[in-house]
Amino acid sequence: MTAPSTYGLSTQARNLQWLLTDLVEEVPGVNSVAVVSSDGLLLLSSDPGGGAASAGGSGPGGAGRPRGPRGASADLATIVSGLGSLTTGAAALMEGGSVKQTMVAMEHGSVFVMAISDGSLLGVHATPDCDMSVVAYHMALFVGRAGHVLTPEVRSELRQSMENTP
């Protein structure tokens, strides 16, 4: 794995990067992960070379695992933001309260979206044969650990980090 640059980042931002990398490397079937702010901006990404965290494919469960194409996490962020908006609108129309999780099962994969306490969203693109309950469980762990850390200051820092990544 190529370690993401953590130079100049706060402890909280580095911890979020570590949590994201851990989610990608430790959960079988996860292709890519994106954390999106409430206004749709990509904050963290597992896209190799395309985000604040890198998931290059080594480590337990990571060796030789397929990844999406370069830029896949940016596409995932767009999808996550759109699904978040759509499901929030649907919940409002149905008077269903806040949306906790959305899952889209497709022939060749799955997309999971989970709300983070500040309005940000965690999105995961997984293989069609993933264990959905395991993916959802690990996403819930990430959300539980990240929710209190993802302050406006850390979001701003992560946004800036994404803009400065080549």
pLDDT in tens, 122-161: 999 999 999 999 999 999 999 998 888 888 888 888 888 8
pLDDT reported for residue 74: 78
Q: Label residue 7 by pLDDT band (50, 70, 90).
A: low
More confident residue, 88 or 59: 88
Predicted model pTM: 0.81
**Average pLDDT along the chain:** 82
pLDDT reported for residue 4: 46
Q: Please, what sign has the CA dihedral across residues 154, 136, 40, 100? A: negative
pLDDT reported for residue 66: 46
Helices within 51-115 (DSSP H only): 72-93
Q: Which residues contact 64 (CB under 8 A, 6 or more apart)?
A: 57
More confident residue, 22 or 64: 22
Q: Which domains does the chain have, with CATH numbers?
A: 11-164 (3.30.450.30)
pLDDT reported for residue 50: 44
